[in-house]
Structure 1
Amino acid sequence: MIVVTTENIPGYRVKEVLGPVFGLTVRSRGIGGNIMAGLRSIMGGEIKEYTSMLEDARKQAMDRMVQNARAMGADAVIMMRYDSGEIGQDMSEIVAYGTAVVVERT
């Protein structure tokens, strides 16, 4: 599966646009991670517990988007983006989205 943030893929042409596709995940740090993050926030600097959680969440959201695109019959996703938001005080929503397409080499 080719996934790009651009409208075009060099060396390919879009043969068919299948439509929007997305992958979604919601994550929350456990109590231990929240305590460690709270302690780190007092001292300043990167909060590695949250960085790791968000990296994993982005990967899972992208994997789910790719699965959904495959189910639609796509072999590429163009204009891929991430979006995120908060749900409550300790949950993060991450969505990967784009346009599922069928491409062919030029």
Structure 2
Amino acid sequence: MIYTTTETVPNHQVTEVLSVITGNVVQTKHIGRDIMAGLKSLVGGEIRGYTEMLTEARNIAVERLVEQAQAKGADAIIGIRFTTSSVMDGSIELMVFGTAVKLKPV
């Protein structure tokens, strides 16, 4: 499956727009990450536990996006965008969305 943030795929023509599709996940941090984040806030720098949490959430959301595109018979997903939001204290939602399309080589 081709997926891209661009509106086109090099050497391909969009022949059909199938639909807007989404993939999302709500991820929560655990006590170990909270403790490390608290300690890290004293000295500054990257909070690796949160970075790992967001990376994991992004990967899950993209997997769900691709599954939805495959279910619709898409060849590609174009115009992918990511959003995040706080759902409740200690958790985030990461959503990815794009347009499922059919392609043909040019």
Give the TM-score category using the shorter length: over 0.9
CA deviation string 1:64-102 (max 9, x = no partner): 000001011111000001000011110010011000001
TM-score (normalised: structure 1): 0.97
Gaps of 5+ in 2: none
Note the C-alpha offset of 1:41: 1.2
Distance 1:41 1:65 in 2: 34
CA deviation string 1:32-71 (max 9, x = no partner): 1111111111111100000010011111101100000101
Distance 1:43 1:89 in 2: 23
Is the aligned partner of 1:35 residue 2:56?
no
Report how many residues are paired.
106
Is the aligned partner of 1:21 residue 2:26?
no
Q: Which runs of 4+ in 1 moved over 4 A?
A: none
Q: Map of 1:1-106 to 2, 5 A cutoff?
A: 1-106=1-106
Distance 1:91 1:6 in 2: 29
TM-score (normalised: structure 2): 0.97
Identity across the alignment (%): 43
Gaps of 5+ in 1: none
Distance 1:30 1:4 in 2: 32
